[in-house]
Structure 1
Amino acid sequence: MDSTASSMEWTLARRPLPLLQGFTPDHPPDYAEILRCTHCGLCLNQCPTFRVLGWEPDSPRGRIYLMRAVAEGRLELNPDFREHMEICLACRACQTACPATVQFGRLVEAARWQTRQTLPMAPGERLLRAIIFGLILARPAFLSLLSRGLWLYQAAGIQRIVRKTGWFRRLPAALRMMEEMLPDRIPAQGMAVGRVVPAMGEQRGRVALLAGCVMRTLLAPIQEATIRVLTRQGFEVVIPRGQVCCGALHVHAGERRQAQALARRNVAAFMREDAEAILVNAAGCGVAMKEYGELLSDDPQWADAARTFSAKVRDVTEFLDAVGPRPFPRRLSGRVVYQDPCHLAHGQGVRAQPRRLLRAIGLTVIELPDGDLCCGSAGIYNITHAEIANALLEEKVNQIRRIAPDRVVTANAGCMLQLAMGLRRAGITIPVQHVVELLDEAGVP
């Protein structure tokens, strides 16, 4: 055999085979990425579910081993496989710990998509998914109507009655958790889209802002604070008409087709605007939007536009730190704990920027032990897997209690609601705020 033929055979032997024996050809977990895992175990202590359960199949390397077994035809896609994938928080802490930089987040999302395609679903779960992913999150008008109803629920005093009487304990567990997570004050009106807010002083640029789902309704005051911070910093802010949910929760839940449909609508809405950056103030949304290029990579009509879109996406703290903030007229004082949102720290690598901004306005930032460990929110995880989520939340609350900061600060809607709920349960009155709320406060002379 000549040297050329020998070299070719060696190359083919080294190349990972695209085995799909147990997966469908429609976006399976990347087999080459699966093979990059060396099973070293450095991810184990960083995995929230492994720390709580201590069970190898519920660790990153255990899940990767299961994916490989399916890809190689040694294991069938079955309800047990699905449960091990679903019980993952998809927090991506394992990616930070992994010396081989295995992209576990994309692997587990692809695995969930595979189970969604192939395994039967109970009628109740199918209905719940249709309501959450197909109606509430996919239709801004319906979400606004629901938010208005929740405002009335608070304003009319019904919430106070429900919580003081035995009615609350009679609610189904999922509804009880959702009710308990509601913010203390739901705004009467959500965030208005389709408008342009001019810059204050000398204009430094033009940015577009994601309205979001929970952020545009239940947490609309944070969106308005974000706009004020950006305009004071000299940026014209456009909130594009026609934008919808970013699709992050859909991707995490294996609803890939719906996520792609939402991504196309957002790419179309934002790319009509002449903006130097597309800003987001919710960490999970930011990861999803930065990965639109991958999500729509198999769509020749949208792939290039999606990659261009993703290249412009920045977390608002990442953007402000990069451009250099103008001096803030007011200095704040006090000790704050900054809780790293998983999808900001592990998914986007944004850690130092929020801390620098907090210190720039005079605050002392105190670190939590294992501060970047997930708080248990993880999209709707605290509803679907409440026992594990509560165990993670209790650990976080105990750490906050020991440190006793003046405020708890984070940069993600789900983390805010989860931490506020945990502190309320523990009888701790420390406020939980978004980074931009403090920057807004420091922007007022």
Structure 2
Amino acid sequence: MSQNITKNKIIEESNRCVSCGLCLPHCPTYRLLKSEADSPRGRIALMNGVASNRIPLNSKFIQHMDRCLTCRACEAVCPNDVRYGVLIDEARHLIRQSKIDNSGGGTSLQDWFLRLLLSHPVRLDYLRRLFSSAQGKGLFHLASKIKFLADNTLLKLVSQLPPVKFPLAAVKKSEATTGNQWQKQYPAIGNCRGEVGLFLGCVARLTDVTTLNASIAVLNHLGYTVHVPNDQTCCGALHQHRGAINEAGLFARKNQTAFAGSHIQAIISTASGCATQLIESGVDKRNGRIIDISQFLVFSEGWECIEITPLAEKILVHDPCSLRNVHDGRRYPYQLLERIPGAQVLPLARNDQCCGAAGTYFIDQPEISEMLRNDKIAAIKESGIRYLVTSNVGCSMHIANGLRENGIEVEVLHPVTLLARQMGLEL
């Protein structure tokens, strides 16, 4: 019965595609592979065929669905507003329902990671301390020298993580924590302009604590009290895009409860992918409260009281797919960074193409992912810049690792982190 419901959803939405092909030049996998089956139009035709029981749900079908990055560049240019993001999620849900596994080596470890850690993100706070200890003792470096460990994509990623940071302590010492747990509240400095909630995410609370700290510090200095609900969880995007729609829905309901307070005027996310999932999964019942940190700061008051140290550098901005194709919010990181005196803020060349990170795609499809990343690395190398900013943690990690592997010394960071640094804030 549940498979029939999924199939009917796919048929209804896929029938809206008129096969015009305007999406093809915008699709990263079609550009690389030159295969109709790896284009949005081709994938939609395959989905419709499987849902209509005209073609089998077999390993070839799964392969073409797995190769999709879910960048949704096709959706942004579709003249008939076909909801491709919904279609690919439902297709993967159908695959999951059919219990056919074609994802190759490493899947069991990745699924274990999703189930054990991302389903309970607070566990990442404890894992953070473990990783910090392992980094300090050089254990990850040692593991990278052992062949059977070094060849595992997930363990390779762990070994390339940036130095682990810990949550920001409160301004008032009486409210300080042990340093490993997030506080429920970070009070505004000076007159309080408002109260906001900060969505931590799951990956960021392990690998990008600096950005979360920077967001809290900047918001506090602008006069906002920041609430960090303990019972918030993963946004569910990684589960949603792997076909685990029911699990993603469970996370949405948990986050809805966590951020239900009427005193919170905005729910702020530092990762554009998380913000997209939170919005589309209906976490905010009142609508309009979920917002990317850059957009919120652009429209915030109080900047006239903030001193920002000049930075006479060219700063390149990478546009994450979720911010460009779904949010329509790509302009806000540029506008925020333009507050830094002397900074020349420019877009990274070929910004209209996905970097290849795409959630867990860089783990599941490493060859295609690396080809897409190589375009970014080449553009960065050619630019000769020192700073690259991006508003999504997955993109940041993926590009930073590529730069490191190619011996290119460019710092990759979130726009709010660079701004906080120029404000002289401790992170």
Give the structure-2-normalised TM-score: 0.89
Aligned match of 1:199: 188
Q: Pick from 271, 290, 293: which aligns with 1:316?
A: 293
In structure 2, distance between residues paired with 1:223 and 1:406: 22
Listed as ranges, the matches of 1:226-305 within 5 Å are 226-272=215-261, 274-293=263-282
- Decide whether the 8 Å contact of 1:191 with 1:224 is kept in 2: no
Shift of 1:27: 7.3
In structure 1, distance between residues paired with 2:34 and 2:413: 33
In structure 2, distance between residues paired with 1:124 and 1:419: 23
Q: Letter of the aligned partner of 1:365 in structure 2?
A: V
In structure 2, distance between residues paired with 1:219 and 1:231: 19
- Decide whether the 8 Å contact of 1:197 with 1:238 is kept in 2: yes
Shift of 1:209: 0.4
1:133–1:273: structure 2 CA closer, same or farther, 3 Å change rule? Answer: farther
Are residues 1:401 and 2:381 paired? yes
1:48–1:284: structure 2 CA closer, same or farther, 3 Å change rule? Answer: same
Q: Pick from 284, 296, 315: which aligns with 1:336?
A: 315
In structure 2, distance between residues paired with 1:204 and 1:265: 28
Aligned match of 1:157: 138
Q: Secondary structure at the match of 2:407?
A: coil
1:208–1:202: structure 2 CA closer, same or farther, 3 Å change rule? Answer: same
1:23-51 CA distance string (max 9 Å, x none): 52147544343222222222112111111
Aligned match of 2:153: 174
Q: Pick from 53, 60, 65: which aligns with 2:40?
A: 60
Shift of 1:170: 5.0
In structure 2, distance between residues paired with 1:278 and 1:191: 23
Q: Letter of the aligned partner of 2:202 in structure 1?
A: C
1:439–1:281: structure 2 CA closer, same or farther, 3 Å change rule? Answer: same
In structure 2, distance between residues paired with 1:116 and 1:28: 16
Aligned match of 1:128: 109
- Decide whether the 8 Å contact of 1:420 with 1:431 is kept in 2: yes
- Decide whether the 8 Å contact of 2:125 with 2:180 is kept in 1: no
Are residues 1:358 and 2:347 paired? no
The structure number with the bigger radius of gyration is 1
Q: Pick from 419, 427, 438: which aligns with 2:399?
A: 419
Q: Letter of the aligned partner of 1:334 in structure 2?
A: E
Aligned match of 1:142: 123
1:334–1:288: structure 2 CA closer, same or farther, 3 Å change rule? Answer: same
Are residues 1:83 and 2:38 paired? no
- Decide whether the 8 Å contact of 1:48 with 1:374 is kept in 2: yes
Q: Secondary structure at the match of 2:267?
A: strand
In structure 1, distance between residues paired with 2:136 and 2:233: 27
- Decide whether the 8 Å contact of 2:319 with 2:391 is kept in 1: yes
In structure 2, distance between residues paired with 1:269 and 1:75: 43
Are residues 1:442 and 2:406 paired? no
Shift of 1:53: 1.0
- Decide whether the 8 Å contact of 2:348 with 2:379 is kept in 1: yes
- Decide whether the 8 Å contact of 2:192 with 2:224 is kept in 1: yes
Aligned match of 2:98: 118
Q: Gaps (5+ residues) in structure 1? A: 1-19, 294-305
In structure 2, distance between residues paired with 1:333 and 1:158: 39
Shift of 1:139: 1.4
- Decide whether the 8 Å contact of 2:16 with 2:82 is kept in 1: yes
Tell which deviates more after alignment, 355-364 or 142-151. 142-151
Q: Secondary structure at the match of 2:5?
A: coil
Shift of 1:129: 5.0
Count of residue pairs the alignment pairs up? 410
Q: Secondary structure at the match of 1:120?
A: coil
Provide the alpha-carbon RMSD of the alignment.
2.4
1:176–1:194: structure 2 CA closer, same or farther, 3 Å change rule? Answer: closer
1:161–1:135: structure 2 CA closer, same or farther, 3 Å change rule? Answer: closer
In structure 2, distance between residues paired with 1:40 and 1:26: 25
Q: Letter of the aligned partner of 1:231 in structure 2?
A: N
1:91-145 CA distance string (max 9 Å, x none): 1111222222222111101111111001333797774354122111111243233
Are residues 1:224 and 2:203 paired? no
Tell which deviates more after alignment, 242-251 or 98-107. 98-107
In structure 1, distance between residues paired with 2:35 and 2:159: 30
